[in-house]
A and B are shown apart, each in its own frame.
Chain A
Amino acid sequence: MEIVFTDQNFDQEVMKSDKPTLVDFWAPWCGPCQMMGPIVAELAGELGEKAKIGKLNVDENPVTAQTFTVMSIPTIMIFKGGKMVQKLVGVQSKEALREALEKI
């Protein structure tokens, strides 16, 4: 299931997560983010418990966006063991995201 990450829960849900975690940095004003959203949601449904997948609204959660120098959206980051291990800028296909998760 897709999770909504925030400045408040990021440390607990992402940095301290015991499984690979994919974060979709997005904002409502961004056209390509509207395309990315359903792809991420679909992937979350398909992967089930294998990985944690969710989105973070950069407008409402500027602290996390700034911490990871997000200056372009959509940006996808994959975290593992409390570290950012993969960063993908721009719209990604579901296959590309799945592959990126399998690689790490």
Chain B
Amino acid sequence: MLNAKMDKVYDLIIIGAGPAGLAASVYASRYKLEHLIFGAEAGGQMNEIYDIENWPGDTRISGHDLIARFVSHVENYGVKIKKESVGSVRKNDEGLFVVETSRETYLSRTLILSMGAKARKMNIPGEKEFTGCGVSYCATCDAGFFRDKIVAVVGGGNSAAVVALELVDFAAKVYLVSVEEKLTAEPAWLEKIAASPKIEVIKDTHVLEIKGEGKVEKIVLDKVHEDRTYLSVDGVFIEVGTEPGVELAQKIGVVIDAQNYIYVKEDMSTNVPGCFAAGDITTGSNKFRQVLTAAAEGSIAANGAYKQVKLNQPLTKTI
């Protein structure tokens, strides 16, 4: 597809507007890189975080509020997040990246892939059927529907812990069901969970099936709990980790690991020259997948793009 926009070559195109992409944009603006940032959902997973207590500088802030500050910072430099969804990415004969969206085609010298990750599904019977009828992946959105009800949170990491604590404000009882023998959430969250009379932790247990008539009524366990192999619940919040969205990356030949995360070097570069990746989509930061590490990776990737674009070009005027 050829059109007027094809004549223009950007220094950098960032795909994904979560903390990694937005931090990359802030740095790119300060490096004076002419860039675009695409993101149908600014903030991505952050919009669903009820409570963040480890973002330095903010004792406590919601994901939605923190991302609003990221967006405002990006826009302060005159950059507007483009909501077009990116359909494909390739490299042309001149070594430029060709990014096709639902509306236009754009050219760029460098690329940052920061599409993040999405909630992982359990792929158990009843999960899909009851999504929206008791099965939820977003407690911030749906906790209010479970006032005085009984709910289960499936998972044992930080996200599951935060969701269980969020639900305490609404539900009558919260089961936290984890396959692990020991919850992997931060001790600071575990202390709060232990102190909550409403939360009952069930460890070393798998949820096999979600059952109900029209809406969730019970979850089937692989172990006996109080003489039964099921829990009667009105809702199930699934927090079993995330899956990276790498379909686009694969189109330009970026190498991924066995779990579909993009391999990055220390400078956030991938195996494709000029293509960087940042945030939850990468193997970087020991796969820690925090807002903080995503933002850090975004800044490093922007630095990589800057070095590639500006430092490889002769200066037009002497400073």
- Interface of A toward B, CB cutoff 8 Å: 27, 29-35, 39, 58-59, 69-75, 87, 89-91, 93, 95
Contacts and interface: CB of A to CB of B under 8 A. Distances in A.
- Tier of interface size on chain B: 20 to 34
B41 A32 contact: yes
Contacts of B62: 31
Contacts of A58: 144
B145 A34 contact: no
Contacts of B140: 29-31
Contact of A71 (B40, B85, B102, B133): B133
6 contacts: A30-B140, A31-B46, A34-B64, A70-B145, A72-B136, A72-B145
A31 B63 contact: yes
Contacts of A32: 41, 47-48, 138, 141
B155 interface: no
Interface string B118-143: 00000000000001111111101110
A71 B142 contact: yes
A93 B141 CA distance: 18
Contacts of B235: 71
Contacts of B131: 72, 89
A72 B144 contact: no
Contacts of B144: 27, 29, 58-59
A58 B145 CA distance: 10
A32 B145 CA distance: 16
A72 B132 contact: yes
Interface of B: 40-43, 46-48, 62-64, 83, 85, 102, 131-138, 140-142, 144-146, 214-215, 235
Given A31-B63, A73-B141, A89 B132 contact: yes
Nearest to B134: A71
B215 A69 contact: yes
Contacts of A93: 40, 85
A75 B47 contact: no
A74 B145 CA distance: 12
Contacts of A87: 132
A31 B47 contact: yes
Contacts of A29: 140-141, 144
Contacts of B46: 31
A90 B85 CA distance: 16
A43 B4 CA distance: 25
A87 B135 CA distance: 15
Nearest to B49: A31
A84 B41 CA distance: 27
Question: Which residue, of B141, B145, B214, has the highest number of chain A Cβ atoms within 10 A?
Answer: B141
A29 B145 CA distance: 12
Question: Which residue, of A34, A59, A87, has the highest number of chain B Cβ atoms within 10 A?
Answer: A34
Contacts of A33: 141
A104 B64 CA distance: 34
A30 B145 CA distance: 12
A95 B136 contact: no
Nearest to A32: B47
Contacts of A39: 83
Contacts of A91: 41
Contacts of A27: 141, 144
Contacts of B43: 31, 35
B113 to A, nearest CB: 19
A59 B144 CA distance: 9
B31 to A, nearest CB: 28
A72 B137 CA distance: 9
Nearest to B67: A31
A41 B241 CA distance: 32
Nearest to B46: A31
